[in-house]
Structure 1
Amino acid sequence: MLVAAAVCPCPPLLVPEVASGAAPELDAARDACARAVSALAAARPEVLVVVGPTAADAAGPYPAGTVGSFRGFGVDLDVRLGTAAPAEPRQAQLPPALAVGAWLLQEAHWATRVEGVGVDERATPDQCFEDGRKIAGRAGRVALLAMGDASACRSLKAPGYLDERAADHDAAVARALAGADPDALRALDASLAYELKAAGRAAWQVLAGAAEGTGLTGRLLYDDAPYGVGYFVSSWTAQ
Structure 2
Amino acid sequence: MITRAAVVPHPPLLVPELVAGAAAETESVRAATVAAAGKLPGPWVAVAVDDSGPSTVVPPLSGTFLGYGVDVPVSLGGDLVPDPRIPLPVLITAWLREQCAVEVSRVELVPRDLPTSECVSFGQRLAGETAGLLILGDGSTRHGPRSPGSDDERSGPFDEHVHSLLAAADVDGLLSLDVELASELGAQGRAAWQILAGVPGPWRCSSAEFFAPFGVGYHVAVWERP
- TM-score normalised by L of structure 2: 0.91
Q: Does 1:171 align with 2:166?
A: no
* Alignment correspondent of 1:235: 222
Q: Does 1:128 align with 2:119?
A: yes
| Match 2:48 to one of 38, 49, 52 | 52
Give per-residue Cα distances to partners, 1:130-180, cap 9 Å, x unaligned.
11111223x3x2321111110011102211121111111111110111111
* Alignment correspondent of 1:95: 87
CA distance change for structure 1 residues 86 and 3 in 2, over 3 Å: closer, same or farther?
A: farther
C-alpha displacement of 1:219: 3.3
C-alpha displacement of 1:187: 1.1
Letter in 2 for 1:3: T
Letter in 1 for 2:4: A
Unaligned 5+ residue runs, structure 2? none
C-alpha displacement of 1:98: 2.1
How many Å separate the matches in 1 of 2:21 and 2:75?
A: 21
C-alpha displacement of 1:93: 4.5
Q: Is the 8 A contact 2:7 2:137 kept in 1?
A: yes
* Alignment correspondent of 2:73: 78
CA distance change for structure 1 residues 27 and 94 in 2, over 3 Å: closer, same or farther?
A: same
Q: Is the 8 A contact 2:64 2:84 kept in 1?
A: no
* Alignment correspondent of 1:143: 132
Correspondence 1:195-210 to 2 at 5 A: 195-210=184-199
Q: Does 1:117 align with 2:108?
A: yes
Q: Does 1:180 align with 2:176?
A: no
CA distance change for structure 1 residues 100 and 152 in 2, over 3 Å: closer, same or farther?
A: same
Q: Is the 8 A contact 2:147 2:214 kept in 1?
A: yes
Give per-residue Cα distances to partners, 1:11-61, cap 9 Å, x unaligned.
1011011113633122111111122122113xxx5x421111100x44311
Correspondence 1:1-40 to 2 at 5 A: 1-20=1-20, 22-40=22-40
How many Å separate the matches in 2 of 1:114 and 1:21?
A: 34
Point out the more displaced range, 160-169 or 93-102: 93-102
- Paired residue secondary structure (1:40): coil
Identity percentage over the alignment? 36
Letter in 1 for 2:66: R
- Paired residue secondary structure (2:46): strand
**What stretches of structure 1 move > 4 A for 4+ residues in a row?**
84-87, 90-93
CA distance change for structure 1 residues 91 and 130 in 2, over 3 Å: closer, same or farther?
A: farther
C-alpha displacement of 1:99: 1.2
Unaligned 5+ residue runs, structure 1? none
* Alignment correspondent of 2:100: 108
- TM-score normalised by L of structure 1: 0.87
Q: Is the 8 A contact 1:79 1:102 kept in 2?
A: yes
- Paired residue secondary structure (1:183): helix
Point out the more displaced range, 166-175 or 61-70: 61-70
Letter in 2 for 1:205: Q
